[in-house]
Amino acid sequence: MRKAFTLIEVLVVICIITLLLSIALPAFTSAREGTRTLVCKSNLHQLLLANISYASENDGFFVPAASDMMDSPGLNRWHGTRNTLNEPFDSQKGPLSGYLANAQVKECPLKVSFVRDHDWNTNYEQGCGGYGYNMTYIGSRLWQTGLITERDWLNAYAKTTRIEEIRMPAQTLVFSDTAMGNDGDSLIEYSFAEPPFAVKNGLPVASFYMSPSIHFRHNSNSNIGWADGHISHSKIAQFDSVNVYEVNSADLYLGWFNPIDNSLFDLK
C-alpha cells in the first residue's frame, strides 16, 4: 500500500516553495527592471546619434527644440510636428525622422502612466516618448546675450548651438528621461530637460528654480545622454519644492541630479 503525504509534509513543501519564490521574485523583478533600463539607454543613444547626424548635415547645428515657440507655439518640436494643439506630435514628420529607425521616437520601456488625454490644456507635449531635450543650451540659442527684440527671440528659438560650441561634450546634457507633474499625482510627457535656472542675457537667473522635468523613474535614477555620445544614469538629488502647477515634484520623482545648477547643461 502506497503511503500518502501527511498534512504537515504538504504544509512544509508549500512553505519551502513560498520561501523560494520570495527569494527568486525580487531577482526576477530586478532583472526585468535592468533590461528596461538598458533599452531606455539604447533609445537615448539613438536620439543622440540622430541629433549628431542631423548636425553633420546642417552645418554643425543641432536640431531645434521648438522652432516655432515665438510665432505659432506648440506645433513643431524636435521629436515631431502636428496640425492642431489637441493631437499628439507625429514623430514620422519630425526633423529627426530621417535619422531614426522606422522614423519614430521610441517610448521609454518602463511604461510610465502618462496622461493620455488629447486636450492641450492637460497634456500639451504628448508624443515625445518620455524623453526631453536640453532646449536652453543645445536646441536653441537662448543662452546668448543681447536678446532684446522680438526678432532676437524668434532667431534664438529657430537657431541652435553648433557642435564646436560645446567645450566639454562629456559634461553637457543633451537628452534625458523627462516628465512633468501638472495635476496632483498625474504625469504628462514633456519635451524638454529643463536646467535648474532660467537664463537671461547669457547668465543663469538663480533667484528661482524652474519646474523640474528630469524624471528619475529607474529606481530613483534618470538616464542621461551627453553631447559626446555616451549614456549614463544619475541619482536624484535632495530637492523639495512645488512646481508651477503647485505639485510637489519630489513625490513624482521629478528633480535634478547634483550639482543643482546649470553647470551640466551649459556650454562651459
Residue range 49-101, pLDDT digits in tens:
999 999 999 999 999 999 998 877 789 999 999 999 999 999 999 999 999 98
Q: What is the model's pTM?
A: 0.87
Kindly report, residue by residue over 129-149, the tens digit of the pLDDT: 999 999 999 999 999 999 999
Residue-averaged pLDDT of the chain: 89
Q: CA-CA distance, 264 to 256, in Å (whole number)?
A: 11
- The two counts, helices (H) then strands (E), for the chain are 2, 12
Contacts 24+ apart (CB under 8 A), 7-13: none
Burial of 248 (0-12, 13-18, 19+ CB in 10 A): middle
Nearest in space to 105 (alpha carbons), one of 96, 113, 114, 117: 96
Q: What's the mean pLDDT in 123-128?
A: 90
Residue 20 has pLDDT above 70, yes or no: no
Share of the chain above pLDDT 90, in %: 68
Domain ranges of the chain: 7-255
